[in-house]
């Protein structure tokens, strides 16, 4: 039999997620009025909780709660505003579901408040480099940590993978210095975040396997991104089929977690990709036993 490498993601509150044989869906739950695709649709506590529970029923393993839009040009909110938006949602969800809960923030104060309310994962779109203190929160609480690459606010290297190495390498140094355990970390290459052209995003997809050199699970966040619209000609709410296509492509290239708006279509896409990978493993095992 072929040996499957065990990949266990350690997240907060004593929980783990086994990523060895199948990918996991992370549902986007925006408690914001201005997110690029679904701003204002779930910006009340009751609305966000209902939407999150529906995503869980459709197959999401992680519910990613965000209180500030990360679209280009979005207005920043204060930490107090962000906490006021997300903590009641997290508190309610912990009472209603055993789903893993992620907090989408770059602020240390918000991360701490969210984890204290019951969140298991901290998802930082600034890769620990906006508020490095957030790494200490992750280390002290034992939370799962998603570290995302971004090109915003800096000059990038010309080669897309070289820039991933440069930025994420610095982020991992911050994490290590704070005492973050490696088994809690997942990396996100940040599709659409200052990836200026469609070609740049496509090159990152095509070379995705090179990111395995970090030796950590990888998260893919392509959902409804602008480069999908450039390719399909569709507006953001109509890009779910294109997103599902990237879910299959990136799962076959080794992505483990998929952050999406439409859970159902991406869950089905992931089921098919996982089935293909299982069939490949079985074929390899059969050939190995008859060799």
Enumerate the active-site residues: 225, 259
Place of tokens 């912990």: 94
CB-based burial label for 110 (10 Å; 0-12, 13-18, 19+): buried
Contacts of residue 86, defined as CB under 8 A and 6 or more positions apart, other chains included, come to: 31, 65, 66, 67, 103, 105, 110, 113, 114
- Other beta carbons within 10 angstroms of residue 249's beta carbon come to 17
Place of tokens 């290459």: 189
DSSP secondary structure, 137-158, as one string? HHHHHT-EEEEE---TTSPPPS
Tokens found for residue 256: 């483990």
């Amino acid at each position: 039999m072929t040996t499957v490498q065990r990949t266990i993601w350690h997240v907060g509150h004593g929980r783990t997620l086994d990523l060895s044989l199948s990918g996991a869906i992370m549902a986007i739950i925006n408690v914001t009025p201005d997110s690029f695709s679904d701003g204002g649709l779930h910006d009340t506590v009751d609305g966000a909780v209902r939407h999150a529970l529906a995503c869980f029923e459709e197959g999401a393993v992680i519910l990613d709660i965000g209180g500030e839009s990360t679209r280009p040009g979005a207005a920043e909110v204060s930490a107090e505003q962000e906490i006021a938006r997300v903590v009641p949602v997290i508190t309610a969800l912990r009472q209603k579901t055993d789903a893993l809960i992620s907090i989408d923030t770059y602020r240390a104060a918000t991360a701490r408040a969210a984890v204290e309310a019951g969140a298991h994962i901290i998802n930082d779109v600034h890769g620990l480099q906006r508020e490095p203190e957030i790494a200490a929160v992750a280390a002290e609480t034992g939370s799962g940590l998603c570290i995302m690459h971004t090109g915003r606010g800096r000059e990038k290297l010309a080669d897309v993978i070289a820039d991933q190495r440069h930025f994420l390498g610095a982020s991992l140094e911050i994490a290590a210095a704070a005492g973050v355990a490696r088994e809690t970390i997942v990396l996100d290459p940040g599709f659409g975040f200052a990836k200026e052209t469609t070609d740049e995003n496509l090159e990152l997809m095509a070379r995705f396997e090179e990111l395995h050199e970090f030796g950590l699970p990888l998260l893919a966040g392509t959902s409804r991104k602008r480069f999908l619209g450039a390719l399909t000609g569709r507006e953001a709410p109509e890009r779910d089929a294109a997103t599902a296509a990237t879910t299959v492509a990136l799962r076959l290239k080794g992505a483990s977690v998929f952050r999406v708006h439409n859970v159902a279509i991406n869950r089905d896409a992931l089921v098919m990709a996982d089935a293909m990978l299982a069939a490949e493993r079985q074929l390899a095992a059969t050939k190995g036993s008859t060799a």
